[in-house]
């Protein structure tokens, strides 16, 4: 995203803007860590709730459908909220809303109603959407424009660290007590089954209430902290002159929106099914808790690949690298579908490494050479994150009908589209620029 901005200023009376700026960046990158952590915790929540409520794959994927659906439904209201409150108060509001959502897991577990968990998750995701809208531009504006990319890379690295740690945390605290198989549970007397499932449902209470406390404390800390006051000077009149339809007239924007949709959908689908997939006897035969270590490896490889990819792109075309990485993931998914055992395990986990550069690269190519239409195109690309809601749900339907092993054909096709986008769809055309009034 391209931002123009005024110099960073400290609060009234501040005498050391550089120190304030460094401290502010430390505070905000902590927030990036938290939303990465909360987002990836869904990968552990899915197999847990699937077992507790005896769900099929499609219904279990309503966790991601609800979570990423919030991005689509709430991104525009979140933008208006942040515009009204400003960046700092917007971050505080996002943390508070996410805290309320995490706190909602307590009554949901007491009620033992799946839809109550989904409602709490929607509120949590709404808070994270507000944080995305407020924190991303804040980091970009927090210093010279020439170094905005390095600040965002640092923030995204902390986000990736959160996604790497969350599966281990969730495996220990949420899946740690899940030791009975479905057959073992079915063999228990009805009263014991009910007691066992109630205990399992309540095992999410402690972790999510703890997260709620952390989110509320962060909100208070950010509110009391003297964050530098930033003023975005992007001409709002220029932004208001243009429409989303005008941005979509550019083929690389339209294809980029589809690229983000399919990429996020594929990445989230793979992560969502990993625990159940690696627990299959013919694949890994792991316990659910053991499988969480591989989920952590999947997201850790994405973090490593992000740094390596940014260095490689200095010498290689981002378009070609995007196509190559997508082609590698097509091959890896074909291997996991055709193989079993260790080959299937390592090939599916390795897709995380090649996911690494895809989101930032597709995003950057999607807003290339757009001038005053950049803001509208960015909004469309963020809304396309709804792919994380739809693709996993569709894969769940496939898994119920044809088996989980072969349901990975759907993310394979998604990566096939990204090959096209890297080779052809991302190239800007000579569409006439939108006329200014």
Which domains are seen in the chain, by residue range? Answer: 12-233 (1.20.1250.20), 236-426 (1.20.1250.20)
How high is the pLDDT of residue 73? 92
Token pair 């689908």 is found at 269
End-to-end CA distance of the chain: 24
User: In the structure encoding, which two tokens stand for residue 32, read together?
Assistant: 């990036």
Token pair 């005498």 is found at 15
Residue 370 is given by DSSP the state -
CA distance 79 to 90: 9
How high is the pLDDT of residue 397? 97
CA distance 350 to 81: 39
Sign of CA dihedral 238, 240, 244, 249: negative
pLDDT in tens, the chain (437 residues): 333 344 444 443 333 344 467 787 888 888 889 989 999 999 999 998 988 888 999 999 999 999 999 988 998 888 889 888 888 899 999 999 999 999 999 999 989 899 999 999 999 999 999 998 888 777 767 777 556 556 766 777 788 889 989 998 888 888 765 555 556 666 777 776 676 667 777 788 889 999 999 999 999 998 888 776 665 444 344 445 667 788 888 999 999 999 999 999 999 999 999 999 999 999 999 998 899 999 999 999 988 887 787 778 778 888 999 999 999 999 999 999 999 999 999 999 999 999 988 888 888 888 888 877 777 787 788 889 999 999 999 999 999 999 999 999 999 999 999 999 999 998 887 554 444 43
Listed residue (133, 131, 132, 107) closest to 119, CA to CA: 107
Strand, helix or coil for residue 229: strand
How high is the pLDDT of residue 182? 57
CA distance 123 to 414: 29
User: In the structure encoding, which two tokens stand for residue 183, read together?
Assistant: 């057959």
CB 3 within 8 A of CB 126: no
How high is the pLDDT of residue 122? 97
How high is the pLDDT of residue 147? 61
User: In the structure encoding, which two tokens stand for residue 285, read together?
Assistant: 């035969």
Token pair 């909220």 is found at 81
CA distance 433 to 437: 12
Residue 372 is given by DSSP the state G
Listed residue (419, 400, 229) closest to 331, CA to CA: 419
User: In the structure encoding, which two tokens stand for residue 260, read together?
Assistant: 């983000």
CA distance 411 to 401: 16
CA distance 78 to 100: 16
CA distance 274 to 276: 6
Contacts with 100 (C-beta within 8 Å, 6 or more apart), sequence order: 123, 127, 212
Sign of CA dihedral 163, 260, 374, 238: negative
């Amino acid at each position: 995203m391209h931002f123009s901005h005024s110099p960073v200023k400290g609060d009234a009376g501040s005498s050391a803007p550089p120190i304030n700026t460094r401290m502010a960046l430390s505070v905000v990158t902590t927030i990036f860590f938290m939303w990465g952590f909360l987002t990836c915790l869904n990968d552990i929540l899915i197999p847990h709730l699937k077992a507790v409520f005896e769900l099929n794959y499609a219904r279990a994927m309503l966790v991601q459908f609800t979570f990423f659906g919030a991005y689509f439904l709430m991104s525009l209201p979140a933008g208006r909220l942040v515009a009204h409150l400003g960046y700092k108060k917007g971050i505080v509001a996002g943390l508070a809303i996410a805290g309320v959502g995490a706190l909602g897991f307590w009554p949901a577990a007491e009620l033992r109603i799946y839809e109550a968990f989904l409602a709490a998750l929607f509120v949590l995701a709404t808070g994270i959407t507000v944080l995305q809208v407020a924190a991303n531009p804040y980091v970009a504006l927090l210093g010279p424009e020439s170094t905005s990319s390095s600040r965002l890379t640092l923030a995204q690295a902390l986000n990736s660290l959160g996604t790497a740690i969350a599966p281990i945390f969730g495996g220990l605290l949420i899946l740690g007590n899940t030791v009975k198989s479905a057959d073992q549970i079915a063999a228990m007397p009805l009263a014991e089954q009910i007691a066992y499932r109630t205990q399992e449902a309540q095992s999410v209470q402690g972790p999510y209430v703890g997260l709620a406390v952390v989110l509320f404390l962060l909100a208070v800390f950010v509110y009391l902290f003297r964050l530098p006051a930033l003023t975005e000077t992007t001409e709002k009149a220029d932004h208001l002159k243009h429409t989303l339809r005008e941005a979509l007239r550019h083929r690389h924007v339209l294809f980029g929106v589809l690229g983000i949709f399919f990429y996020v959908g594929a990445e989230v689908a793979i992560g969502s099914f990993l625990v159940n997939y690696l627990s299959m006897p013919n694949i890994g035969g792991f316990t659910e808790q053991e499988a969480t270590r591989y989920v952590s490896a999947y997201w850790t490889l994405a973090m490593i690949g992000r740094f390596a990819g940014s260095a490689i792109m200095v010498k290689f075309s981002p378009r070609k690298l995007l196509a190559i990485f997508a082609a590698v993931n097509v091959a890896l998914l074909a291997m996991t579908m055709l193989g079993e055992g260790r080959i299937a395990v390592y090939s599916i986990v390795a897709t995380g490494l090649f996911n690494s550069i895809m989101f930032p690269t597709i995003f950057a190519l999607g807003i290339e050479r757009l001038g005053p239409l950049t803001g509208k195109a960015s909004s469309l690309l963020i809304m396309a994150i709804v792919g994380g809601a739809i693709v996993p749900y569709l894969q769940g339907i496939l898994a119920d009908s044809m088996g989980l092993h072969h349901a990975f054909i759907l993310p394979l096709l998604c990566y096939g589209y990204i090959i096209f986008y890297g080779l052809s769809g991302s190239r800007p055309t000579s569409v006439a620029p939108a006329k200014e009034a």
